[in-house]
Amino acid sequence: MPIIISKDGPYVVTGGLSLTREAIATNAAEDSTDWRSLGVVATPARYFLCRCGQSANKPFCDGAHARVGFDGTETASRDSFAVQAKVFEGPEASFLDADSLCAFARFCDRDGKVWNLVNEVSDAAGRDALLAQLSQCPSGRLVAVDWATGKAIEPELTASLVLVEDPYEKSSGPIHARGGVVIVGADGVAWETRNRVTLCRCGQSKNKPFCDGAHASVGFKDESAQVSL
């Protein structure tokens, strides 16, 4: 069930991958706390998702990429996540951080930021809370590591796509590809398959095909979302 990136064009989604919409929920302190379901988006078995951000039929492609001369060149590093990531270790937990993959969902900032919390965890309850927080990162920038085995601790996710909405930032976010969706570049070479990936859909990322948070700075909006932004 791959996603095929067309040259300077849309994401071609095959295999009947489901498409839903979710919003980043925040608390009174304006911290990202959870994901709020906004429902299912009806799709055929094969569909085309806008990548340039200019479609009048979002989230689907309407050919706008050709009209605006969209440059969809994939500029992200082809290095593996393991090569890109830095290791953060604490007394009871550790995690990997590949900051170039940040999609600006801000779950990592809650309760004093995970980079600080990893040094403060002193018991099983605190460790579990930190691991749960790390697993909320949609881009997979942050990945918890099992101390005993050295292996990644990943949430179990079904292969699917989620359109992210960010009411706090008053913008529409990336496409959250979950559960090991295969993403094939315009050159025909598959990107490293990961459990959590965020793909740019505003057209402005400097780390294509992945999101770099540009949607927030440009105020990208998917009018079809029908959510207050």
Domain boundary among 153, 176, 209: 153
Confidence label for 227 from pLDDT (cuts 50, 70 and 90): low
Between 70 and 227, where is the model more confident? 70
Asked whether 138 and 106 are in contact (CB, 8 A), the reply is: no
* Cα 98 from Cα 213, distance rounded (Å): 14
Q: Which domain holds residue 193?
A: 3-75+157-225
**Predicted local confidence at residue 220, as pLDDT:** 98
Q: What percent of the chain has pLDDT over 70?
A: 98
**Predicted local confidence at residue 74, as pLDDT:** 98
Q: Which residues of 62-85 are buried (b: 16+ CB within 10 A; e: fewer)?
A: ebbbeeeebebebebeeeebeebb
Structurally, the chain folds into a number of domains equal to 2
What HEC string does 129-152 produce?
HHHHHHHCCCCCCEEEECCCCCCE
Closest of 154, 155, 129, 145 to residue 96, by C-alpha: 145
Q: Tell me: the pLDDT tens digits for 80-130? A: 999 999 999 998 889 999 999 999 999 999 999 999 999 998 888 989 999
Domain boundary among 153, 171, 197: 153
| Mean pLDDT rounded to a whole number for the chain | 95
Q: What mean pLDDT do residues 172-182 have?
A: 98
Q: Same domain for 93 and 204?
A: no
Q: Same domain for 71 and 163?
A: yes
Q: Same domain for 40 and 95?
A: no
Q: Same domain for 19 and 36?
A: yes
Name the pTM for this structure.
0.96
Length of the chain: 229
Between 16 and 47, where is the model more confident? 47
Q: Same domain for 71 and 21?
A: yes
Domain boundary among 120, 153, 186: 153
Task: Give the residue ranges of DSSP H helices in 100-213.
Answer: 114-117, 124-135
